[in-house]
Amino acid sequence: MHLPSLFARRYLVSKKSTQAINILSGISVLGMLVGSMGLVLVLSVFNGFESLVVSLYDKFYPEIIISPSTGKFFSENSIHYDELKKVDGIKAYSLQLEEKALLRFGDNQYIATVRGVDSNFTQISSVQNSMFHGQFLLHSNSYPYAVVGAGIEQALGLNYDNPFNELSIYIPKKGVSYVLNPEDAFNRELIRPIGSFSIQQEFDMEYVFVPMEFMRTLLNEPEAVSAISIAINSGANVDRIKNDVKKICGKNFEVLDRYEQNKSLYAIMKIEKWVVYAVLTFILIVAAFNIIGSLSMLIIDKRKDINILRVMGADLPSIKKIFLYEGILLSFIGCVSGFILSVILILLQKKFGLIEIGGGTFVVNAYPVKMQLMDFVLVFFT
């Protein structure tokens, strides 16, 4: 039998000569409970937001993208596609060509990024699963169509019901410095809008999808490509595939995975999460001082017991361990109780959305939450 831990358990539940010690012990446990619960809840909310943002970006950004190291475009024949197909784990790839353009519909104008994509695009992206109006269709009987972001649709006042309403797209001509007629400085093509997508405002207000051939005609670049998007098989090693693709493409191209395509965004989310964690940890440390005060009063209350133990032969380290274990028990009870309450609150939030974000403009109504085992381990050791 381990005597220090036995005495610590007895002191925890036994009555003290002064009621204030019991009250202070309860406050200590409550402080650890609230602190640990707060840490778990905040970390879970950040996990929820991170998962939500990643899921939204995954709909738009490919798992791997190839782009030129310098300049906007490269020739379609610059890549060995036969070797690319042989890379184990690559499911499909899609060519894209994009440029900033002026959109005009009726009297309304808007500047957006027009992206030309080929027939493999739906295998790379899930934009087609996020349609707001109409359908994701870029070709029909060799006739080109445009799919726009929901924000652009509203800004231009697009009307899909009228088959004669077409969207005008203007892109500046290369090498033109002076013209008498401003319209002569632009390449212009007409295309009929057939639908709109809605993912999040950043994309909804920025992008228009058109067929690759239409975009090349608009730019007067018959072989131009701005990027190659790659989809990989489920469970495939992204780093290995990325390295294999780099070897095929050479030094003139950048090969980026999803994290690298949005490195600053993911880095900011991580920094925010750990800054909040550090702030709440300081609050938890302050709460821990209640335990020190509680133990100090308990030592004073148990002076007679300490003297008896010393007379019976107990050394000073063993007596210190009694109060060390007492503090650990107070922390453990508060921590575990906080974990239980936090799990209950997280499950209720996931099921019923108890706390709403408000405003009605976000992609979800209630705060997203996601539990991760490592958060509980981290808070426990904290």
Task: Say whether both 253 and 278 belong to one domain.
Answer: no
Q: What is the mean pLDDT of residues 250-279?
A: 91
- The rounded distance, in Å, linking the Cα atoms of 244 and 83 is 10
Q: According to the model, what pLDDT value does residue 309 have?
A: 84
Task: Say whether both 255 and 270 belong to one domain.
Answer: no
Task: Say whether both 247 and 145 belong to one domain.
Answer: yes
Task: Say whether both 252 and 371 belong to one domain.
Answer: no
Task: Say whether both 255 and 269 belong to one domain.
Answer: no
Neighbours of 352 (CB within 10 A): 9
| Inter-residue contact 185 to 179 (CB < 8 Å) | yes
Neighbours of 155 (CB within 10 A): 17
By mean pLDDT, which of 85-94, 262-271, 338-347 is the weakest? 262-271
The pairing of beta strand 108-117 with beta strand 90-105? antiparallel
Per-residue model confidence as pLDDT tens digits over 110-162: 999 999 999 999 999 999 999 999 999 999 888 999 999 999 999 999 988 87
Cα angle 37, 380, 376; round to 5: 65
Per-residue model confidence as pLDDT tens digits over 284-313: 888 888 888 888 888 888 888 888 888 888
Task: Say whether both 292 and 156 belong to one domain.
Answer: no
3-state secondary structure of 323: helix
Q: Which of 260, 276, 310 is the last residue of a domain?
A: 260
| Inter-residue contact 266 to 275 (CB < 8 Å) | no
Number of residues in the chain? 382
Residue scoring higher pLDDT (165 or 195): 195
Task: Say whether both 82 and 213 belong to one domain.
Answer: yes
Token reading at 147? 């799919």
Task: Say whether both 204 and 347 belong to one domain.
Answer: no
Task: Say whether both 158 and 215 belong to one domain.
Answer: yes
Question: pLDDT grade, residue 317 (50/70/90)?
Answer: confident
Q: Which of 204, 225, 260 is the last residue of a domain?
A: 260
Q: What is the DSSP string of 189-249?
A: EEEEEEEEE-S-HHHHTTEEEEEHHHHHHHHT-TTEESEEEEEE-TT--HHHHHHHHHHHH
Task: Say whether both 221 and 339 belong to one domain.
Answer: no
- Kindly provide the b/e burial profile for residues 71-104, where b requires at least 16 CB atoms within 10 angstroms of the residue's own CB: eebbebeebeeeebeebebbebbbbbbbbebbbb
3-state secondary structure of 23: helix
- The rounded distance, in Å, linking the Cα atoms of 137 and 125 is 14
Q: According to the model, what pLDDT value does residue 70 have?
A: 92
Per-residue model confidence as pLDDT tens digits over 5-58: 888 788 777 766 667 777 878 888 898 999 999 999 999 999 999 888 888 888
Counting Cβ atoms within 10 Å, is residue 153 exposed (0-12), middle (13-18) or buried (19+)? buried
- The rounded distance, in Å, linking the Cα atoms of 81 and 67 is 15
Q: Which residues contact 289 (CB under 8 A, 6 or more apart)?
A: none
- The rounded distance, in Å, linking the Cα atoms of 293 and 291 is 5
Task: Say whether both 103 and 217 belong to one domain.
Answer: yes
Per-residue model confidence as pLDDT tens digits over 324-379: 898 889 999 999 999 999 999 999 999 998 998 876 656 788 899 999 999 999 99
- The rounded distance, in Å, linking the Cα atoms of 135 and 195 is 5
- The rounded distance, in Å, linking the Cα atoms of 364 and 300 is 55
Q: How many domains is the chain built from?
A: 2
Range of the domain at 217: 62-260
Task: Say whether both 231 and 337 belong to one domain.
Answer: no
Q: What is the mean pLDDT of residues 101-111?
A: 95
- Full-prediction pTM beyond 0.75? yes
- The rounded distance, in Å, linking the Cα atoms of 319 and 109 is 81
Q: Which of 260, 293, 311 is the last residue of a domain?
A: 260
